[in-house]
C-alpha cells in the first residue's frame, strides 16, 4: 500500500477535515514505531526511509504489508478522534489498533529471525 492509497482509504471510510500533510505526519509516527520496534530488530532489516512528505512520497510503498493495513488505519482513526476530542471513539480505536499491532508484530517476528540469531560461520578448525 502506498502513502496516497492509505490516505485515500482512510478519507473514504471516515471523511474528515485533516489535510494530507497532517495525515502524513501521523503516518510518519506509526511508520517510525513499526521500524524501530519490529522491523529493525530482524535480520536483514534495511534502512528506514522516513519521514515522508506527501508531495514527494505519495507513491512510496509503506513498510507494513496490505494484509496488516489496519495497523495504519486504526492509528489514523485514533489520532483523528483524539484531535476531535471524541474520547469514546478514540478509546475504541486504540483498542483496535493494539490488536492490529499485536497481530502484525507477532506475525513479523514469526517470519523473520531476530538479529541476535544471525548466523556466523566459525572457522573450520582451531588453527584457522
Count of helices and strands (H, E) across the chain:
5, 0
Name the domain count of the chain.
1
| Residue 60 lies inside a defined structural domain of this protein | yes
Q: Provide the residue range defining the domain that includes 22.
A: 3-115
Question: CB–CB of 27/72 below 8 Å?
Answer: yes
pLDDT tens across 41-77, in order?
777 767 777 799 999 999 999 999 999 999 999 999 9
What is the crossing angle of helices 70-83 and 20-37, to 10°? 130
Question: CB–CB of 63/35 below 8 Å?
Answer: yes
- pLDDT band of residue 110 (cuts 50, 70, 90) is confident
Share of the chain above pLDDT 90, in %: 70
C-alpha–C-alpha distance, residues 107 and 104, integer Å: 5
| Residue 124 lies inside a defined structural domain of this protein | no
From the list 73, 64, 66, the residue with the least C-alpha distance to 105 is: 64
| Residue 31 lies inside a defined structural domain of this protein | yes
| Residue 126 lies inside a defined structural domain of this protein | no
C-alpha–C-alpha distance, residues 72 and 31, integer Å: 8
What does pTM read for this prediction? Answer: 0.84
| Residue 123 lies inside a defined structural domain of this protein | no
Amino acid at each position: 500500500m502506498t502513502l496516497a492509497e492509505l490516505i485515500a482509504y482512510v478519507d473514504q471510510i471516515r471523511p474528515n477535515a485533516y489535510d494530507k500533510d497532517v495525515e502524513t505526519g501521523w503516518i510518519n509516527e506509526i511508520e517510525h514505531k513499526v521500524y524501530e520496534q519490529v522491523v529493525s530488530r530482524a535480520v536483514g532489516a534495511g534502512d528506514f526511509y522516513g519521514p515522508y512528505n506527501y508531495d514527494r512520497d505519495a507513491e512510496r510503498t509503506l513498510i507494513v504489508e496490505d494484509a496488516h493495513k489496519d495497523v495504519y488505519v486504526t492509528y489514523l482513526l485514533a489520532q483523528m478522534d483524539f484531535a476531535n476530542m471524541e474520547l469514546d471513539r478514540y478509546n475504541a480505536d486504540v483498542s483496535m489498533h493494539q490488536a492490529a499491532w499485536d497481530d502484525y508484530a507477532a506475525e513479523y517476528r514469526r517470519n523473520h529471525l531476530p538479529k541476535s540469531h544471525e548466523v556466523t560461520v566459525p572457522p573450520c578448525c582451531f588453527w584457522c
